[in-house]
Amino acid sequence: MRHIFANPKRSIATIAGVALLAVPLAACGTEDEGSSTSTSSSSSEQSAPEPVASIDALSGETTAIALDKGFTDALASLKLTPGVVGDAALTPEGSLEFPITGGNVTVFKPGAVSPYVIGQIQHVSSGLSLTAGDTTVELTNLNVDPGVSRVYGDVSVNGEVAVESAFLFQLDGSTLKPLRTQGDKAILQGTEVKISGVAAPLLNDTFQTDAVKPGLLVGIATITVNTK
């Protein structure tokens, strides 16, 4: 299987860039400019925010999406049957669970920098399927990029790849709860997952409908990662 995800090292540069942007600009000096600049630079470096948690190489645990009733009702009205692909699971409580297979994540205190959660959270060899009649669409190899509030993935129709690394879901982190820990696990809960403006017309074209709207709430995400 082709590895579609960005190099995890990309987030290192992202973290550095965010940290630099968070540092206030030094006041412009008039006299003794060299000394003033040096002092301001040193002060700025010390004021750069420290992350609450940083995991360079994710291994194990899951991204779960508690499906919203509005989403499941919309699927029912379209006679679309949801299912899972590969290692994903659909729990009796109505949550989709995708095993985390790699990536990295850094979390800052909310308000310290924006965005305050950055990295890549990868889910190779799992996904969501939607079936109507003899047509099945699979959304697989999901890659969560919290820094840009997007989820990318591959789209196939009846086993044939239609789009690779498509922008599938928009993330709304305004409802995200503070990071919490449980033993060797870190948990981020509360982000809203919505159908993107790219995925909506793709699904509408495939299933010959116009009922799938951009921004349709899919559910609430809970990301659980190992901290070891």
189-198 pLDDT per residue, tens = 999 999 999 9
Alpha carbons 97 and 115: distance in angstroms, whole number: 25
Judged against a pLDDT cut of 80, whether residue 47 lies above it is answered with no
Same domain, 43 and 60: no
User: For the segment 112-150, what is each residue's pLDDT rounded down to a tens digit?
Assistant: 998 888 999 999 999 999 999 999 999 999 999 999 999
Same domain, 41 and 61: no
Same domain, 43 and 93: no
Cβ atoms of 212 and 198 within 8 Å: the answer is no
User: For the segment 1-13, what is each residue's pLDDT rounded down to a tens digit?
Assistant: 333 223 333 332 3
Same domain, 164 and 129: yes
Query: Has residue 5 been placed in a domain?
Result: no
Neighbouring residues of 196: CB distance < 8 A, sequence distance ≥ 6: 150, 167, 168, 169, 170, 214
Same domain, 108 and 204: yes
Main-chain dihedrals φ then ψ at residue 167, nearest 5 degrees: -80, 100
Same domain, 35 and 96: no
Same domain, 113 and 214: yes
Query: Has residue 91 been placed in a domain?
Result: yes
Extract the tokens encoding 104.
């990295």
Main-chain dihedrals φ then ψ at residue 68, nearest 5 degrees: -75, 145
- Express as a percent the part of the chain with pLDDT over 90: 66
Question: Mean pLDDT for the chain?
Answer: 82
Q: Where are the beta strands (DSSP E) in 25-134?
A: 53-55, 62-67, 81-86, 89-90, 95-99, 102-107, 117-132
Lowest mean pLDDT among 15-19, 85-89, 207-211, 224-228: 15-19
pTM of the model: 0.77
Same domain, 21 and 110: no
Total domains, the chain: 2
User: For the segment 186-227, what is each residue's pLDDT rounded down to a tens digit?
Assistant: 999 999 999 999 999 999 999 999 989 999 999 999 999 988
Query: Has residue 3 been placed in a domain?
Result: no
Helices (H) and strands (E) in the chain, counts: 4, 13
Query: Has residue 2 been placed in a domain?
Result: no
Cβ atoms of 116 and 73 within 8 Å: the answer is no
Same domain, 39 and 124: no
Same domain, 66 and 104: yes
Query: Has residue 77 been placed in a domain?
Result: yes
Alpha carbons 49 and 155: distance in angstroms, whole number: 38
Same domain, 42 and 107: no
* Higher pLDDT among residues 14 and 42, named by residue: 42
What pLDDT is attached to residue 35?
A: 42
Judged against a pLDDT cut of 80, whether residue 19 lies above it is answered with no
Same domain, 29 and 64: no
Residues spanned by the domain of 16: 10-47
